[in-house]
Structure 1
């Protein structure tokens, strides 16, 4: 069984040693290890991807041991394994203003096209709260009056709801690196409303329009803690307009129709285990 262990906390010596020692002496095979040590910020972060042998203690027991190590070292440690086929993945859907992406995901789940459970929706604005209520999904407001998110509270919510995947459905705030590390390894999925890599940032429609492009698109990608640049593409799709199409019409097509469809397909690929993130690269797995 594949297990991902992440650890984040104040920098110090020997933080990785007890984690690596325990999993290796328990017979696990370490298939990926990444460590981040930022001297200026005094932050330590680690990702460990292992194959946990079936004859070893259960993943729950491994999680208890990792929590014990976390208490001893001052690290925030999470032990996660993808749900077995008998349990649907639990989703947290993060939103800001646009309701269409979240609505498309919830409809796809309702219709059986995405086999997952939407256990909570979060917003740094309240614009999409009605969509959560329409589908009877718990709503959590995490933004202040100016839309500034409480990032610590978001992490608490993800843990409280035992979330498997975090879906940034046009969530228009950048997650801090510490949050990305806590849920690293292909657990955070982002909808970018433009084609990557040529059109990053918050104005991809406008940027493409200024370059006199006739082809526009959206990109679904895994979030990577250090980069968060969208190079880890899960799915990308385009639409073409005729010369002279006004920018506002292009944006309308993209926001209303294209982005939601693209997100549904990208999320389906992750939930159906067609793709995973290994060493910052998306790899095809062939499904479960």
Structure 2
């Protein structure tokens, strides 16, 4: 998504007349649709439109009100996000009990290096409220005594703080389609494995049990498929033969914070696009980012021998190698 276009998101129950009425409303107000995408997951319908409002014949607030009225008529939630500059973007950080990623984000923001404001920290436990208070950031606990979050409350807070980006700083809960659909490609998670390996819970334990020699972390966009969203940044580290799960976590946590901050920064700089499930960076040669392994690894890896077969011919549905001599 680019901040140069206006985005309209509709979430709720599907209705056969909804799309027709929305497109008619846009046409009547001089708004042109540039892109449209829709999906249904677990009974929840989502439609996202990017629109051009350069020839819109009403003001922005009037346009927003008209869409909200139509949403009320169909009993769906309609959100409108108009273009704005990176400096105006607001971030909500979702947390559970681990502090390292939250603290790194707060420090970067406090030092003026983030280019956006952390407006609120929301947790499903209150363990990190004192840390948020150190930086004078509001904290809201939406979890019950077992940590189960109230997502209606979550959505209310996200709307109240007019959130542009959600950073999951080791938020150990799965977001429902009700949340993900409203903030598609605006939720970034950090996961303690080199995805797609070891998704889900206890990733460091999975890595140890499988005996990997290289483990790592991944920052990615959140989708309704657990830990399968488009990958943004990754970091890797070697696994000692006798390493415990706790030792893997000790090695991985600083990299989790680093990968998450880099992914958030790229998003805020409007550097990321998603094409066929893969993120692309607008300026791939940026020297201030490290999307994967360090450049030194390229020089450390051997460059020979290589397969001498450079061409292939397809015969009877099979690929046959053709020698180059």
Superposed pair shares fold, TM > 0.5:
yes
Following superposition, the deviation at residue 29 of structure 1 comes to 4.3
In 1, the alpha carbon distance for the partners of 2:9 and 2:277 equals 15
Displacement of 1:264: 1.0
- State the Cα deviation string for residues 147-178 of structure 1 (Å, max 9, x = none): 01001100000001111111111000001111
2:201 is aligned to 202
Gaps of 5+ in 2: 285-325
Partner of 1:239: 237
Query: Whose RCO is larger (CA < 8 A, sep 6+)?
Result: 1
Q: Is the 8 A contact 2:94 2:166 kept in 1?
A: yes
- The equivalent of 2:112 in structure 1 is 112
1:64-120, CA deviations, whole angstroms, 9 ceiling, x for partnerless residues? 2211211222110001135324x4310110000101101000111112221111111
Counterparts of 1:1-288 in structure 2, within 5 Å, are: 1-37=4-40, 41=43, 43-53=44-54, 57-85=58-86, 87-184=87-184, 186-225=185-224, 227-255=225-253, 257-277=254-274, 280-286=277-283
- Classify the secondary structure of the residue corresponding to 1:16: helix
Q: Secondary structure at the match of 2:33?
A: strand
Q: What TM-score, normalized by structure 2, do the two folds share?
A: 0.80
Structure with higher Rg: it is 2
- Check 1:239–1:134 CA distance in 2 against 1; reply closer, same or farther (3 A cut): same
| Residues 177-235 of structure 1 deviation map (CA, whole Å, 9 limit, x = unaligned) | 11111222x1111111211111211111111112211222111111123x243331121
Contact 2:190 2:220 in 1 (8 A): yes
TM normalised by structure 1 equals 0.89
Q: Point out where structure 1 has 5 or more consecutive residues left out of the alignment.
A: none
What is the alpha-carbon distance in structure 2 between the residues aligned to residue 237 and residue 25 of structure 1? 49
Q: Deviating runs (4+, > 6 A) in structure 1?
A: none
Q: Distance in 1 between matches of 2:67 and 2:276?
A: 22
Q: 1:33 to 1:229 in 2, by over 3 A?
A: farther
CA RMSD after TM alignment: 2.2
Paired residues, number: 281
Whole-angstrom CA distance in 2 between matches of 1:211 and 1:144: 35
